[in-house]
Chain A
Amino acid sequence: MSALIRIITATDPHIRDQSLDAFCRGASSQELLDECESLERFRTDSGNLYERVRALFFLYAIHRYHLPTKPGMAARALIPYEGYTNLLNRRFEEAIEIFQKTQREQGANDGISSALAESYHRLGFQILADQVRKSVRSVRGNQWMFRTGHTADQPLRIRPDLFKLQPGRLLFPILREATPVRMDLTHSGWSDIFFLGMDFPEAARVINISVDLSVRDPDGTAAPNLPRPPVEAYFRIIDKPVLRLVSVDLATSAEITTLAEIFDFAKDYLGLLKAAIISSGIVPPGMEGAEQPLSDLLGRLGRPGHGIELVSRVNGIPKGSRLAVSTNLLASLISVCMRATGQTHALTGELREDERRQVAARAILGEWLAGSGGGWQDSGGVWPGIKLIQGVVASESDPEFGISRGRLLPEHKILTDMAELTRQRLQDSLVLVHGGMAQDVGPVLEMVTEKYLLRSEAEWRGRRQAMELLNDVLKRLKSGDIKGIGSATQRNFEGPIQTIIPWASNLYTETLIQRVQSEFGEQFWGFWMLGGMSGGGMGFIFDPARKSEAQGRLQEIMSQTKRAFESAVPFAMEPVVYDFSVNERGSCASMVTGPDALMPAGYYPIVVPDLLRLEPRNLSATRRAELDRFSEATRTEPEMSGMVQTLFDHLLPHGEEGEGGAESIDDLLARLGFDRVEHEQVRSDLKNGRIGLAQNRLPVNSQIVDVEPNDVYDATGELPQRCYDDGMRALAAGELAVVSMAGGAGSRWTQGAGVVKALNPFCNLSGKHRSFIEAHLAKSRHTSRISGTFLPHVITTSYMTHEPIENYLKSEGNYGYEGPLILSPGRAVGLRLIPTARDLRFAWEELPQRILDDQAQKVQDSLRAALISWAETAGEATDYVDNLPRQCLHPVGHWYEIPNLLRNGVLARLLDDRPSLKYLMVHNIDTLGANVDPALLGWHINSEAALTTEVITRRIDDRGGGLARVDGNLRLIEGLALPREEVEFDLSYYNTSTTWIDIDRMLAVFGLGRSDLGDEIKLAESVRAVAARMPTYITLKDVKKRWGKGQEDIYPVIQFEKLWGDMTALPELSCRYIAVPRMRGQQLKDSAQLDGWLRDLSAAYLESLCDWA
């Protein structure tokens, strides 16, 4: 029997919990391939879901992390396109079959292993997600909603109490639900992830506290607001047969008249309310696609001619608080709808335990429907107080029995046996904050799942420690030892949490902790990470004597630290400090009747302006009565004071002022030397269809084939000693400078957040969070020390990155870099355009797309339809100006970064200072493994080429062109220019964007010599002449727009660029290609790659190249 199958199927935990890594370290590639064959058979034969999934994760990890490192594995491979398209379309089994067939034909190799790894990984998660969904559907109390497909089948009825009009008032009563949010004292190493609780219920334990909140005035001058339940939901009958949804917090409303609109989640900001309407059973999920009128359904639920109004409100708590605000709002909305439709024993008051469980199950369903995902304990706010939530082993009566060990829904045990003072003491010591960062926790949850299923050694140890820490916290809660809790949560953060997921911490958080520690010393009792990552919602525990002072200081420390880091780290909002109290009721409802039956104040500025535009006679009697009462309340109720002014502001919107206005974009453009003529040309070409995403491509009759045997020199092994010696000689003689390209925005890194990627402290290396620039400088330092001559290091910048990089380097003292460090400012800037519907459709409908999971795909389709409609309404190909000015501009591609060296005098200065300089090594900011390797330099010198470009063999993720023979000429080709997607899969090599340049030969291509570098006119003309020969690509980028309280929207925008790789197409430029090891050539484009980068030892490789200051 295979050793790995023995591990998977073992009942003895000592065997079952053995690490895959430990086994693989000692195995040969043939042994691993044999194990893969056995695992492949086992995963299809085994009847146990979790054994199958574990086998899939084993297969993934072997192909991703272990086989590629084994001697004898071929690197070069061609990945079949058909397999890739199957993967995109979620046909994982077919993809695996095709990749395996290729593996049998080509032999095992790095490329196919990458494809297999990706397929196994995604299939594993698909099976787990399907199982969770199946369990959500089969929870008793949820099943009926999936078989109710016709409006006549609707078995719910709205409680008659809600139809009782107040005599003489004509106001329907309002049912109001107020729900606290939850904060986790510890989640035992993310044990609340559904899959983990279902796999190992005994280890799934969370201590979770329901809290009321208020946001402190940042200046500390206003009177404090008392903490209150942060989320509220309102339900009311209306005398119109529609569903009226209003989100007070997002300032939006809609009247829904068809069933189809309810299932259109991303059309507007009301997705959460729609999910609540569906998962509460008012419009059961089984009705998706039903054709009957919504009014029929509403009539059956209540009375003909009547409808429902559902209103949500979040009391000032920003997004990303790590307090599960959105899940608890969803739960609150579901609860109010369930109460109104008789699904709870009482209309008002607290919920019963079985009802809380039902609300939680429905919230899980709602999150699945709306395409989001939450932890299993997220709806903890529905319960009161402090509770221990733990996984439950599935018993015979559970639908999960026989499929997974654990149940989907955990058990909540309210901790009543605590010292009476514990709650108060906690309130007296804990300072709760939102640090201002809003990150996506999704990838973290996948990483944790994967590491646990693989039983990775350090992580598994971390998990066990986290479980013990929970016991420690429980003990201290009982005894009221808050200092001990502070110490435990800090140990948890520094120990298990970061052992399992290093990315849970970041430089911002570490700096905050350090500053608080140094300022408060012994009276700072500990840091407490809330939720899945730090940087957003966080807790700091203090000696109660200093809590009040600490609240004020933390606000200042956070604001100062944010200002220092804001160009490097994505912040969504200004940091805030909360006041909080433990909520002892959980979700609770009350009826508002009589003259008080008004919606919250924030509701009226959203709906009244539209009502005022109507003739009074067209308003229904109840609407008129409500307006009467509202008008009365604006004079008498403190909550409604100032409402008249607010309404005026809504009725007569005024132009925005200051930073966000269009004027400041014009100022900025003028200052940056924006070329309006060129911009208008681009716009006109784009509108007329002369340029566009489809027009980026070469003609379809272009012949694009893979390289021939001698086209690429293989430098993945050792290069001849001669090369090394020549390189070392050149280095010692000061013949080389390094150029790091940092002009780009790095959109993928932060999904268009507009921070400078080069400055992002992306990883803890040698005990400190380091930025990309620091890592590159450390490599230059290392090489300089070996060669004895310090390398000049140039960092190219753009309008977007120059100032932040300059300031940052200044504040960091150039990271102690001893050699010349020069910034090369970019000159060109473009103004982003709103895309054309044609380009959006091309990108989303014509190009191969990764199909998402069913429900997520529906949400994405709906979002894309909304974005196409946005582009059409906002004006296709018009200037994109509805954002911060810097978010509206774009750098125009890295081609310009090298000619800029000529035009801005940096190269001239370099040559003046060091006339021996002959070569440049140019690399992208995200190619972390690229260093000045003397042997490669030597090889380049000996090749006598103008350019030597480094390439790597292709893996499945390496998309975006490669090295090819295009109509017989060897050159790099961009993915954008390929006439058909499948062509890319015939190309063995991928461009690393690292290039060695012979300065004089390159100048010659521009028609220049060293002596011309002072002649600005000649320089400008020669650069323009070469630029004219470079293709201009139209690209679609994501840009974030921030609004409200930490809300972010992502918009697609059009920009144009010229890319350096196209230089290789110039016939007069002699160019060589050299294949380098993957660790040297791979680029970090997406922060989700980081964990794999650390685990496949790329990080260690980088550290081996660095001398830190």
Chain B
Amino acid sequence: MNINKAVITAAGSNQRNLPLQTLIDRDGTEKPVLAIIVEETLRAGVEEICVVVQPGDEKPYSEVAGEHAARLQFVHQSEPLGYGHAIYSARDFVSGDPFLHLVGDHLFISRHEKGCAQQVVEVAEAENCAVSAVQATRESLLPYFGTVGGQRIQGRPDLYRIETVIEKPSPTVAEQQLIVPGLRAGYYLCLYGIHVLTPGIFDILESLLATSNQPIGVTLSDASSELAKHEQYLALEKDDWRYDIGVKYGLMNAQLALSLSGSDRDEVLSNLLELLAQRELGAARKLDTN
């Protein structure tokens, strides 16, 4: 399996401005989030990139993409019919090939030499099947993630065979259907936001979109769960960092994480310490004078 195409989704109504935000990357240069995600994709050796956007968003996206603008293709999600529909919108772009998929509102920071997406792509190519990155996540965070249930593959401590995927399960459902042997009690494998999917996903999405009457539309989890019934589908457990920039303080946390794992680490650390010292010492002095 060769993976040459990537689909980045950025059409969600709460999500569409996030890739346009600017951060200082690990190399100390100022970059829009979109650029950082595109570089993650390129690091994985995937060069044909499609961004799913709302109609009219391609212009600002092209503008912030800078040097990468030329390689980006834009696909419209014409109606807000959910996450599954956003991916389905890229069907023509993918055109029957396996593809890498990243969400546009997350940043991924690898602890290792290889990039996060790169690791997923390598496993998918080696195993010749769909792979989703997952992370062991405490059950109190289940309301935020799609969660997989499956079995560990012998001899591969980080690989699981996915049997089912449920979007934002209640802990009750998770405990009944998603317990994975080997994880600590109360922890589940939650989707990480990086997937290599096979083209079979589009047929599944098509049939789900035709029958769904859910208010949130069809989720990728619904489709992935079906995919696992039809073909081998693996989960790669990751210990890297992933930041949801769409939540409260998400962008700030992502920035701090980038800075602390990059070339400006010492400078940022000392700035932080100085800030803390000034605030705390200032408060202590104020107390003294009172």
Contact = CB atoms under 8 A, between A and B. Distances in A.
B186 A144 contact: yes
A155 B139 contact: yes
A354 interface: yes
B170 interface: yes
B175 A140 contact: yes
A71 B176 CA distance: 59
Contacts of A143: 175, 185
Interface in B182-206: 185-186
B140 A154 contact: yes
Contacts of A342: 168, 170
A141 to B, nearest CB: 4
Interface string A335-346: 000100111000
Given A153-B140, A157-B143, A144 B179 contact: no
Nearest to A153: B140
B173 interface: yes
A444 to B, nearest CB: 34
Contacts of A354: 176
B176 A156 contact: no
Contacts of B215: 161
Contacts of B268: none
Contacts of B143: 155-157
Contact of B173 (A142, A157, A343): A343
B141 interface: yes
A980 interface: no
Contacts of B174: 144
B186 A358 contact: no
Contacts of B170: 155-156, 341-343
Contact of A358 (B139, B140, B141, B172): B172
Interface string A119-156: 00000000000000000000011111101100011111
Contacts of B171: 144-145, 148, 155-156, 281
Interface residues of A, number: 22
Interface string B264-282: 0000000000000000000
Nearest to A160: B215
Nearest to A154: B140
B89 to A, nearest CB: 25
B172 A148 contact: no
B189 to A, nearest CB: 15
Interface string A224-253: 000000000000000000000000000000
Main secondary structure, interface of B, reads helix
Contacts of A281: 171-172
Contacts of A157: 143
A144 B176 contact: no
B175 A155 contact: no
A144 B175 contact: yes
A67 to B, nearest CB: 48
Contacts of B168: 342
A396 to B, nearest CB: 13
A141 B175 contact: yes
B215 to A, nearest CB: 8
A338 B140 contact: no
A256 B281 CA distance: 42
Nearest to A157: B143
B176 A155 contact: no
B134 interface: no
Nearest to B185: A147
A349 to B, nearest CB: 13
Contacts of B172: 141, 144, 281, 338, 343, 358
B142 interface: yes
Given A144-B175, A343-B173, A155 B142 contact: yes
A140 B179 contact: yes
B176 A140 contact: yes
Contacts of B138: 153
A108 B12 CA distance: 82
Nearest to B138: A153
A153 to B, nearest CB: 4
A352 to B, nearest CB: 11
* Listed residue (A141, A142, A338) with the most chain B CB atoms within 10 angstroms of its CB: A141
Interface of A: 140-145, 147-148, 152-157, 161, 281, 338, 341-343, 354, 358
29 contacts: A141-B172, A143-B185, A144-B139, A144-B171, A144-B172, A144-B174, A144-B175, A144-B186, A145-B171, A147-B185, A148-B140, A148-B171, A152-B140, A153-B140, A154-B140, A155-B139, A155-B140, A155-B143, A156-B170, A156-B171, A157-B143, A161-B215, A281-B171, A338-B172, A342-B168, A342-B170, A343-B172, A343-B173, A354-B176
Interface of B: 138-143, 168, 170-176, 179, 185-186, 215
